[in-house]
Chains A and B, each alone.
Chain A
């Protein structure tokens, strides 16, 4: 029934791409939820992971709808890496300056934008012109995600935030690979009710009280005593 509904939308002019994105979003969010509460992988916000995933997908998507994984890895990777490093540098430079937070953020964003332009210049000079044609909206998304990264940096310090950022980017790439599989996309279009199942999965995760997988590692060194008997001594049986 749901697939008939979607077919109706597509037939009446809603791009298939839009429908696919709407179907993927809850699925990917569920994956992030799963990795947080069941696996215990720490990432920054759920938005950062999802935004980056869609940005990577946009970068990799050709006009005919096919996916160029190579571009997501090289171009996307370079973009994320360069913007993060530039933001880190400017963050530490402006750290001691007395100014309002938003002004600082804007300064950092400006520097990142300039850096992206220079990056494009470098690609034209030394590599090829593919970078020039990247989806501008995807680039903007990546730059804006930097703000989330920087908040993590401010709060958690350089070491821990680097660790969190790496995990966040890692999750985004994992999600991207799920999303870029044509088989999965086709399956989703054919069986959109899968999205409804994700609701059930989320309810299950939402009520999950057991350990996160990472906690088995975290608490592995606690030496628990042997369970004690209820009574210290055994009483003789009554005759």
Chain B
């Protein structure tokens, strides 16, 4: 009983180990300074041409605060402390009303005077590391990508990638909820979903609370949408920027936070030199074993680092998600629409889905209808027997005719050597455009006289990659 509980420490990273083993060893003091200061962060990223949220204005002194010109501000903006801790003190202004008051995401209004008080609090160090005096930063507000709309309440979801020695280790997305008042912050009640590094698809989800507890969650509140199975847009770009940003700031172990803009794509909002550990809960997996895997690897390049992250730590849900979301369910006997060579004509037939066969095959008559008469005739000239007794016999025909057939007739793209319980045969194959259940595909189909058989066509394994066969389904 005790042993498995104690063993969790083998895979999961705790605060003590994070502090001693990773933060001190892999993040230099100057790197931490860059990450803690949002303006320095932006400067470093800009040098490397990594996109970040745009600065509108910085207020550095009480004097600047007293003479602050509100007319310089656009209608919507984000105000934050330059050295803020744990996302504190961030104010998202959505709109400015007629009287010049600022309306926040939570529907609260701030008069210009109230906003000055707020800015003063920031400058007095209310939200900064060690309560030290701070500056105020005005940024352009990121308008969330449309794909996020069904999943979020008001605010913008925040995508976080943990990078260790350039390798992406773990990722999650935090969704603002009604309870979190549009903020993507666990401590306020936001939801977090783990992300499969290989595909950028969300996996497991948890919900934070103001008391600091986490609960599992599956559906978006008041909705039938699931948090899992969502593909984060621009996933590969996000990984690339995350790796580059960690290199630019010389952070060995860090969290890179992105917002995804409707037009501009992924933008880095923050780099964190002390990544939190809740991401492990969102991913339902520990981070420690991943870090230990990467510790001794020789990372050759940025592309290598990304590939390592994807291959080592991603893909655990790929099959699962694809099965649910990416593949079509079809029946054993399935209507299939075949397009003629010119594409002008189409024929719909009932095909047998044959997972025992490698290749798809169709009847000679059907092939003629689709415009492959020439190919059939040129093959017929050789009088190849319909069925043969042995594989070597087929091989002799294949060796003799394959090159000639493929070269002389442009419709013949290949020849197939087929063996089954009825004997062996040598057939020509053509390319056919087809549609199964609204999904278009290009098939390499061989031609055989099937006039004595029940179905004019069978679909083999090679053309079934994007489908799942459900024998109980009737079409």
Contacts and interface: CB of A to CB of B under 8 A. Distances in A.
Interface string B7-25: 0110110111100110000
Contacts of A97: 117
Interface in B257-305: 280-281, 284-286
B8 A219 contact: yes
A221 to B, nearest CB: 7
What bracket does the count of chain A residues touching chain B fall in? Answer: 20 to 34
Given A155-B88, A160-B210, A222 B285 contact: yes
Given A159-B211, A223-B284, A98 B15 contact: no
Interface in A200-230: 207-212, 215-216, 218-225
A232 to B, nearest CB: 14
A37 interface: yes
B126 A155 contact: yes
Contacts of A223: 284
A160 B20 contact: no
Contacts of A239: none
A77 interface: no
Nearest to B210: A159
B8 A155 contact: no
Interface string A22-42: 000000000000000100100
A209 B280 contact: no
B380 to A, nearest CB: 46
B473 interface: no
A89 to B, nearest CB: 19
Given A98-B116, A163-B211, A219-B281, A224 B286 contact: yes
B442 interface: no
Main secondary structure of the interface of A (DSSP, over half): loop
B211 A155 contact: no
Contacts of A163: 211-212
A74 B45 CA distance: 57
A155 B16 contact: no
Contacts of B5: 216, 220
Nearest to B89: A155
B8 A211 contact: yes
Contacts of A218: 281
Interface string B190-231: 000000000000000000001110101000000000000000
Interface string B216-259: 10000000000000000000000000000000000000000000
Nearest to A104: B124
A11 to B, nearest CB: 44
B14 A210 contact: yes
A101 B8 CA distance: 45
Given A98-B113, A98-B120, A223-B284, A155 B12 contact: no
Contacts of A160: 187, 210-212
B131 interface: yes
A224 B11 contact: yes
A159 B187 CA distance: 11
Given A209-B21, A210-B14, A210-B16, A224 B8 contact: yes
B311 to A, nearest CB: 15
A136 interface: no
A151 B16 contact: no
Contact of B280 (A207, A208, A210, A219): A219
A219 B21 CA distance: 19
Contacts of A170: none
Contacts of B9: 210-211
Contact of A222 (B20, B21, B113, B280): B280
B12 A222 contact: yes
8 cross-chain pairs, A with B, having the tightest CB-CB distances, nearest first: A101-B124, A98-B117, A209-B17, A211-B14, A215-B14, A211-B9, A219-B12, A159-B210
Given A219-B8, A222-B286, A224-B8, 13 more contacts: A40-B15, A155-B127, A210-B17, A211-B8, A211-B14, A212-B15, A219-B12, A219-B281, A219-B286, A220-B5, A221-B216, A221-B281, A222-B12
